[in-house]
């Protein structure tokens, strides 16, 4: 099988590449053609996953396809965008039909959940790596930036944190899965391998939230980005941070909290919003939790039950540290 047969068989014909709304031309020409609806901006984001760095060698191909796309689409959710299409730059050590079939099916499963279509890509030989570029549309002036947080806003997260990071030792084979009860194991693996991009919430928050991002590197590290871009201080009540039950099950309360604060890999949204929006928001999105507030100042402050600052020993993941 040559490069072109590979593309044809595993990508052009895959379920995720069968067109979609706002796609005038998909795979097969020099470029794809997307329509951005009138009055909307095109939101674009790229993520690269490298074998041995972002996922372990011998990761199941189906799960990898799911996760790679979910991680990329999460950035569209964080912007309040509606997905349109994505490209896939895939570097493979060799042509392995079984692997490619699994990967393409995993991609298609997540693409269907997110209503996004594969519109092009590039296929090269080399150490296993993949780059996804996702594109979506968001009404002009309504994109959720990091820079709009206002003194007096509530700081919220979209759901429980810590399961993605707690799953990593299991995914890496450092922990024997047999030592974990079946339900907990399933929650951990689902959190890691098929995070659900918070697309509906992101779209709801358009022109409501003042600042937002998806939590990929850890709550504290990512909140620093909002604080810096908005020139404000984010205060977080540690006791109000929702910690995933599965993380507490396997790690105990203290280590699970650390995963929730600095673990990353959860792809929930963190956002700031005026207090008056909260009632309706929580009615539609009951998993949303208020974890703190925005005030004048700089950086992120983690507070104990008495409102006293907790010295931060935590920080997010950074590649060049």
Residues at the contact surface with Mg ion, assessed by CB under 5 A: 122
Which stretch in 21-29, 71-79, 207-215, 266-274 sits in contact with ligand ADP by CB under 6 A?
Answer: 21-29
- Residue 157 pairs with which residues in a beta bridge? 270, 289
Residue 161: name the closest of 270, 83, 308 by CA: 270
Q: How far is CA 229 from CA 151, 210, 269, in A?
A: 13, 12, 16
Q: Show Cβ contacts of residue 282 under 8 Å, excluding neighbours closer than 6 positions.
A: 288
Q: Binders of ligand ADP among 49-108, rule CB under 6 A?
A: 88, 90
Dihedral class, residue 8 (left if φ above 0, else alpha if ψ from -120 to 50, else beta): alpha
Task: Give me 144's structure tokens.
Answer: 């959720």
CA distance 196 to 113: 8
Number of other CB atoms surrounding residue 50 within 10 Å:
13
Inter-residue contact 210 to 272 (CB < 8 Å): yes
- Of 20, 83, 106, 120, the one binding ligand ADP (CB under 6 A) is 120
Q: Which of 106, 121, 195, 202 binds ligand ADP (CB under 6 A)?
A: 121
Please name which of 319, 310, 193 lies closest in space to residue 257, comparing C-alpha atoms.
310
Give the whole-angstrom CA distance, residue 187 versus residue 14.
28
Count, residues near ligand ADP per rule CB under 6 A: 13
- Residue 53: exposure state from Cβ atoms within 10 A (0-12, 13-18, ≥19): exposed
In angstroms, give the least distance from the CB of 36 to ligand ADP: 19
Least separation in angstroms between CB 152 and ligand ADP = 47
Query: Using an 8 Å Cβ cutoff, are 224 and 211 in contact?
Result: no
Is the Cβ of residue 5 or residue 122 nearer to Mg ion in the bound state?
122
Task: Give the one residue of 96, 122, 183, 304 binding ligand ADP; rule: CB under 6 A.
Answer: 122
Query: For Mg ion, which is the closer residue by CB, 61 or 88?
Result: 88
Q: Among 22-30, 133-141, 203-211, 305-313, which window interacts with ligand ADP (CB under 6 A)?
A: 22-30
Which residue's structure tokens are 């299409």? 85
| Residue 123 binds to ligand ADP (criterion: CB under 6 A) | yes
Q: Which pair of tokens denotes residue 29?
A: 């020409």
117 makes contact, choosing from ligand ADP, Mg ion, none, with CB < 5 to 8 Å by partner type, with: none
Measured at CB, which residue is nearest to Mg ion? 122
Contact between residue 159 and residue 195 where contact means Cβ atoms under 8 Å apart? no
- CA–CA dist 126, 123 (Å, integer): 10
Nearer to ligand ADP, 11 or 99 (CB): 11
Binding span for ligand ADP by CB under 6 A among 26-34, 105-113, 183-191, 231-239: 26-34
Residue 88 site contact among ligand ADP, Mg ion, none (CB < 5 to 8 Å, cut-off depends on kind): ligand ADP
Q: Does 29 bind ligand ADP (CB under 6 A)?
A: yes
Q: Closer CB to ligand ADP, residue 31 or residue 296?
A: 31
The span of 120-128, 138-146, 195-203, 280-288 binding ligand ADP (CB under 6 A) equals 120-128
Q: CB under 5 to 8 A by kind: which of ligand ADP, Mg ion, none does 48 bind?
A: none
Q: What is the nearest approach in angstroms of ligand ADP to the Cβ of residue 32? A: 7
Question: CB 306 → ligand ADP: shortest distance, Å?
Answer: 55
Q: Least distance in Å: CB of 20 to ligand ADP? A: 14
The values of phi and psi at residue 95, to 5°, are: -85, 115
- State the residues that interact with ligand ADP by CB under 6 A: 7, 11, 27-30, 88, 90, 118, 120-123
């Amino acid at each position: 099988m040559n490069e072109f047969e590979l593309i044809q068989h595993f990508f052009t014909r895959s379920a995720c590449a069968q067109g979609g709304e706002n796609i005038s031309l998909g795979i097969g020409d020099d470029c794809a053609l997307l329509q951005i609806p009138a009055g909307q901006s095109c939101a674009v984001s790229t993520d690269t996953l490298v074998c041995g760095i972002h996922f372990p060698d011998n990761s199941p191909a189906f799960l990898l396809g799911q996760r790679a796309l979910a991680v990329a689409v999460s950035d569209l959710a964080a912007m309040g965008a509606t997905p349109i299409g994505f490209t896939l730059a895939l570097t493979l050590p060799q042509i392995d039909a079984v692997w490619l079939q699994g990967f393409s099916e995993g991609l298609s499963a997540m693409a269907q959940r997110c209503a996004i279509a594969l519109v092009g890509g590039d296929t090269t030989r080399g150490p296993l790596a993949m780059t996804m570029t996702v594109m979506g549309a968001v009404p002009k002036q309504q994109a959720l930036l990091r820079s709009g947080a206002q003194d007096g806003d509530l700081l919220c997260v979209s759901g429980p944190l810590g399961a993605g990071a707690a799953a990593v030792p299991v995914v890496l084979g450092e922990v024997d899965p047999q030592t974990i009860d079946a339900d907990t194991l399933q929650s951990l693996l689902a959190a890691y391998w098929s995070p659900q991009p918070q697309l509906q919430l992101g779209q709801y928050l358009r022109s409501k939230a003042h600042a937002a991002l998806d939590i990929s590197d850890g709550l504290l590290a990512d909140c620093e980005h909002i604080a810096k871009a908005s020139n404000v201080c984010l205060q977080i009540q540690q006791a109000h941070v929702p910690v995933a039950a599965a993380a507490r099950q396997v790690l105990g309360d203290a280590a699970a909290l650390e995963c929730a604060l600095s673990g990353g890999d959860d792809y929930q949204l963190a956002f700031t919003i005026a207090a008056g929006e909260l009632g309706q928001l929580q009615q539609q999105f009951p998993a949303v939790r208020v974890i703190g507030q925005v005030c004048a100042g700089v950086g992120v402050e983690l507070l104990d039950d008495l409102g006293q600052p907790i010295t931060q020993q935590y920080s997010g993941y950074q590649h060049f540290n």
